[in-house]
Amino acid sequence: MTMSGTRNTPIVPVCEALALHGFNFRPRVLVVDDETLIADTTATILSMGGYEATAAYDGNDALEAALLSPPHLVITDVVLPGMNGIELAITLQRVFPDCQVLLFSGQASTVDLLAAAGAPARRFTLLSKPVPPERLLATVKEKLRPIARQSISPSAN
């Protein structure tokens, strides 16, 4: 640290830090929001943070994307047209039991949807919109910590 209390250490994306140590794991994150700007911006923030992030704009597109490239984590808005985010999350966890889920919402109706979903929805973490990038990245890192420990393997192997 410098005398002013700030660090001189550069910020390095997760994938670059892992590559420096011979690891090649980039967790796959699927971001789902019917507001394309939110989905795309969130995916960009995650990509810059070292994750392999993809955006989808409704539940059906998200299911198709997940079947093509199974995600380690799904971040979904709760209120989506057609299939809501909770139904999407429950469906994805049935297909991919190790997939982690983060729900995010800016609407009060979310509490009612979570209650209606019952026990399966209790496994999900809920973030309120808007989510500051630092909090998003910290929460994603925490949710993926167990998966990263299992999945990271030296590239030399």
CA–CA dist 63, 99 (Å, integer): 13
| This prediction's pTM | 0.76
What is the per-residue pLDDT across 105-138, written as a single tens digit (0 to 9) for each? 876 566 666 666 565 656 788 888 888 999 999 9
Burial (CB count within 10 angstroms: exposed 0-12, middle 13-18, buried 19+), residue 154: exposed
What is the per-residue pLDDT across 36-77, written as a single tens digit (0 to 9) for each? 999 999 999 999 999 999 999 999 999 999 999 999 999 999
Sheet of strand 73-77, all strands in order from the earlier edge strand to the far edge: 52-56, 28-32, 73-77, 100-105, 125-128
Q: Residue 157's CB: how many other CB atoms inside 10 A?
A: 6
Domains of the chain (ranges plus CATH)? 25-147 (3.40.50.2300)
